[in-house]
Amino acid sequence: MITKPKLLLATFNQGKIREYRSLLAGIPYEIVTPADCSIAKEVAENGKTFEENAILKATAMASLSCFLTLADDSGLEADALGGEPGVRSARYAGEKAGDAENIKALLERLKTSPDRHRTAQFRCVIAIAEPHGKVELFSGVCQGMVIDEPRGKHGFGYDPVFYIPELKKTMAELKPEEKNLLSHRARAAEKAREWLINRVG
């Protein structure tokens, strides 16, 4: 039996792990998680950009595991707030904030913004790091707008308030298979997927 090379997903977020297992299904790699590699410590995301944070996580976990490692950083960029929450999306309401608290903080900020335009985008940057340090980057964007009331039960993060006008649904109202056709993470992952397949040859 041919042993597949391992690909470590450098995240402890179970929602992301589920999405990546779906998005990368069928690639010629065995997908593993930090728990599978006995890695318990998260990497500090202290970069100033999505790219910096993705690279930090990918290179740190690749060094610890000695496996090819995929990490991402992603978030919501609201135009009326100058691109916030941006890299602070996961902790917009504080370091220990949950999804509901972050959504509340976002909506409060938008209420007091002089710019009532609600256009926004989800952006994702994926970094894939070799154990020796070489890194490849892939990015994806999904355009939409922020609505005042959460809708939908799927997804995570800001999905319930991210509305896609052409579909007349929030990201959280989309079934996982629908989201995986158009999300920022799906678009970045499609590029990463092609690179991963070509790397094996």
Which sequence positions are flagged as catalytic?
73
- In angstroms, rounded to a whole number, what is the distance separating the alpha carbons of residues 92 and 85? 6
Joined together, the tokens standing for residue 39 give 């890695």
Using DSSP's 3-state secondary structure scheme, residue 90 falls into helix
What is the rounded (10 degree) CA torsion for 60, 35, 180, 135?
20
Q: At 77, which helix (H) or strand (E)?
A: strand 68-78
Bridge partners of residue 40, in order along the sequence: none
Strand order in the sheet with 162-164: 30-32, 6-9, 68-78, 119-129, 135-146, 162-164, 169-170
